[in-house]
Structure 1
């Protein structure tokens, strides 16, 4: 395809500016928001797909802030949105060698605690621009809608609304928002041979949000493993965090029930029932305290 070949030629032009020959440029499959290319051993290029330009621009503000507090994430070496060399905004960043982990890597809890030191500030001089506060959703309205549309029966709807109310009573939703990565899932983590975390990547979903929201894209079995370590470094207790995390998992699980199927996706939450079944599976595996008390 001529357009595809033209784009690859543009990428190789950028690569040469960084001392990388065309034969060392390789496209990496996947990526919803960006096309990604390996540039030799040391560099990585991500080019925005149409509609995701703001997410890439956001990363240029978030990544330096995260690195400033010591978070493991690749340094951005170049950002260009002029379209002079490439037909879309792009970043060139350092390449971190690692693999997608099959379980929560060691060190993840510590990195998230380090990131969450960054609190939202209304002062313009301290603000990180283009990072919106995220929408939490309204699970009570979601349950009412599911009942009206016939997805759940009235008795189940009543049980679910009661569950959300009990969970909400166990955590404070008025606390300060922190900077979250927003998509802490296996495909955005790079780990070494011993499953040690080497980098958090892809910050396009970063947001100001409660700490608990950060754990909403990890399976609950993994959350339960890393939460004690994270809670030791957090101003919130493990029990309060667990209640809020479960609130998000359950809320987002129910909200996705009416969605159409989305096959052939990498993320475990893509199928419409995956989150709900993950919660069911988690609570049948005898989870550690404080989780059993949250039902």
Structure 2
């Protein structure tokens, strides 16, 4: 299975910063030690034109030229640096590359990404650009240019299972019936003010495996029912497989076990494969007290994705 990484570009964070940037490198190194599971490649950089399919030119220029205000940098949570800007470009490029590979092979992954708090005109919550939104828009644009007459719109499904609501993604695609946004997240977690996704499922603090998986099953059934009623299923899905619902996460406030999260991944990927919907994964959040636990959860997700990719090859 193809997977794209962007950890060569550092964030140049100050000492003591709370963002666990090392998790991306650790995840890549884990799979380098097990060759043959993933075809890993450095991510290409997204272009300014690609970013501007979603983001305002003013905001894109401010990031790339180092003109973010102090307030904008505080909202993002990262200080600006040339390497921060470069990392942001390559992180979006990884989701673009994964989306292209998914359309060709069924399943592919960005080994980072899932920056769902970025809005069209600003970043927030450790998210600079919205990688999934840019990749979705670019795939739709390219699909329209290549499609047969009467088949000119690629329908996209975003399945966001990070523990925080995908507020930036919801705002970007609000009112757009070509992109269905689904977010299942902690009701009392960040962001304090939620946006409206096409389907939001809010979970109480302390939610454990069984009620979580029940809520997921019900949500997936609703998603398929809504698409059936509309007369068209998605042609591409993006799955934000956050590790932060894990019981050992510093920011998650939920109580899912590693086995519960693996079952979550299995149910999502199986449902997509059964319906012939290609999927591009991103790792999204994960802030474990023990960073090795976060990396292990994300490795489980990628291993399950490899199994889904193998199932696609047998279709």
With normalisation by structure 1, the TM-score equals 0.26
Structure with the greater relative contact order (CA < 8 A, sep ≥ 6): 1 or 2?
Answer: 2
With normalisation by structure 2, the TM-score equals 0.25
